[in-house]
Amino acid sequence: MKQSIHIFYDDLKNSFKDLLPIILVVAFFQIAIVQAMPENLLSIIIGLTIVAIGLALFIRGLELGIFPIGENLATDFAKKGSLFWLLLFAFTIGFSTTVAEPALIAIAEKAASISAGKVDAFFLRMTVAFSVGFAITLGTLRILLGHPIQYYIVSGYILVVVVTFFAPKEIIGLAYDSGGVTTSTVTVPLVAALGIGLASSIKGRNPVIDGFGLIAFASLTPMIFVQLYGIFVYAFVPDASAHTQILSTAINETVIAHQHFDPWDILWDILAVVKDVAPILAVIFFFQYLIIKKPVAHLHKIIVGIILVILGLYAFILGLEMGLFPIGESIAFQLTAMHNNLLVYLFAFLIGFSTTMAEPSLLAIAIKAQEVSAGSIKQNILRIAVAIGVAFGIALGAYRIIAGDPIHYYIIVGYSLVIMMTYFAPAYIIPIAYDSGGVTTSTVTVPLVAALGLGLAENIEGRNPLIDGFGLIAFASLFPMITVMGYGIYVNYKLKKSKEHL
């Protein structure tokens, strides 16, 4: 018991550490720039605390229950040698982890809110989850076949751009964002373990070149599928969005509702979370008992882990509505009211950089990259390269909202640059660069960045939150690929120069 408390304390400390850079940036702008305290300061502090506790419970539950059984299943399927069951497992893991993704739940609810029901939150989540399942299946097949990842990714980006010209403008930014919100706390570790585990167990595969990249697949396909969903919805679903609901009203209603802690409301909310986590549990236990036909090791720990995941997910979503969304909305409104766009860009840049440098998923990939490159890629420099990419991306995305430019012009140019750089970047950096776009958009970053974009679009005259507000997450996912490949090209150039001098 004492050890468990100590471990949870460490998780809680890490959760607060992840939130600290954001708090410092927000505090600096509130005190030094806006020079005023937000009216709902107590609610925000309570919300941030609940978010930290929720993340700690959530991560502890994943590590105690979901991850061990998921990793064991991946290893068992690699040994089993059945292509059908392996691909089915890949699909269901991608689908079930995405359905339960907290950031996706939040973004889907906001999309439904500001489109006044035109975009259905449930069907949007199902679309994204199906696309991620398809992506993990395709990525797993690529590892088995040993194909270079860039052929798939470049073809995917071209398809994204083509579909964009047919998609309604209301769905484009949301579609681009959906690629970023799928790869977060739940998805990244399970998907990464599956890819690297498979590549390590197949003769002739390189865990770095072949094992990385599944996260990139999971970031790419939702952009295509959500745009196709939007084409269908805006063509066949009756118009329900004549009057766009103001986002701040929805947020204020949520905060006010959570100030009255009715036990029955809490019970129903927890049951709703159980419904969201249920697909993961169904997949894991189905494959464990009916396909692998092995008992679950340490079942009591698994059950405790599952309970912690449910409680953590509930606390995270509750704190999110009380803390992070109002902060982004409030700062965006105040900075917009000051009519100083440079401050908006500075805030966007600092938020992007600070949240990314604290991202644990990025740290894990950076350490692995340094290890497999024999020190040629420095983990700290790689993290800085990714953080600069995210910071620049969010700042440019904020400029795009203020200027009122269509998002797809920026994204098309960005993807064109990624495709061009792919042909110059060394092979070992390409999958890591593609994955870096997905691991930067975490459960902490996404809500704040999304709220900033939606807040800017709401408070600038002539902007539509549904058309202009979404897209910042897409910028945060795109530009790290450019900066990381640029770093790889630079490292390769330096290595060649040093060899020439020998």
DSSP secondary structure, 141-207, as one string: HHHHHT--HHHHHHHHHHHHHHHHTTS-HHHHHHHHHHHHHTSSTTHHHHHHHHHHHHHHHSTT--I
Q: What is the pLDDT of residue 152?
A: 92
Q: What is the pLDDT of residue 259?
A: 44
| 400: nearest Cα among 386, 384, 419, 414 | 414
- CA distances from residue 311 to 104, 274, 298, 374 in whole angstroms, order as listed: 18, 9, 21, 41
User: For residues 450 and 177, is the Cβ–Cβ distance under 8 A?
Assistant: yes
Tokens 């979404």, located at residue: 470
- CA distances from residue 146 to 81, 87, 154, 155, 353 in whole angstroms, order as listed: 16, 15, 17, 17, 35
* Distance between start and end Cα atoms, the chain: 59
What CA–CA distance (Å, rounded) separates 499 from 137? 41
User: Where does 29-120 have alpha helices with state H?
Assistant: 41-61, 67-80, 83-99, 102-114
Q: What is the pLDDT of residue 241?
A: 41
What CA–CA distance (Å, rounded) separates 451 from 44? 14
Structure tokens at 321: 């509505």
Measured in degrees and rounded to the nearest 5, phi and psi for residue 239 equal: -70, 120
What CA–CA distance (Å, rounded) separates 319 from 314? 9
The length of the chain in residues reads: 502
What CA–CA distance (Å, rounded) separates 255 from 42? 11
Q: What is the pLDDT of residue 249?
A: 43
User: For residues 365 and 431, is the Cβ–Cβ distance under 8 A?
Assistant: no
Q: Could you state, in order of their start, the residue ranges of all structural domains in the chain?
A: 66-293+325-501
User: Running along the chain, 502 residues long, what does each successive block of 10 average in pLDDT?
Assistant: 75 78 81 76 82 81 74 73 84 83 73 74 90 92 88 89 86 78 65 77 77 85 91 72 39 40 64 74 82 80 84 79 70 74 89 78 73 74 90 92 85 88 88 83 67 78 75 86 90 80 66
User: For residues 112 and 124, is the Cβ–Cβ distance under 8 A?
Assistant: yes
| 187: nearest Cα among 119, 155, 123, 139 | 139
User: For residues 33 and 280, is the Cβ–Cβ distance under 8 A?
Assistant: no
Per residue, what are the HEC states of 270-288?
Answer: HHHHHHHHHHHHHHHHHHH
Which residues fall within 8 angstroms of residue 275, CB to CB, at 6 or more apart? none
Measured in degrees and rounded to the nearest 5, phi and psi for residue 74 equal: -60, -45
What CA–CA distance (Å, rounded) separates 389 from 231? 31
Structure tokens at 392: 């620049």
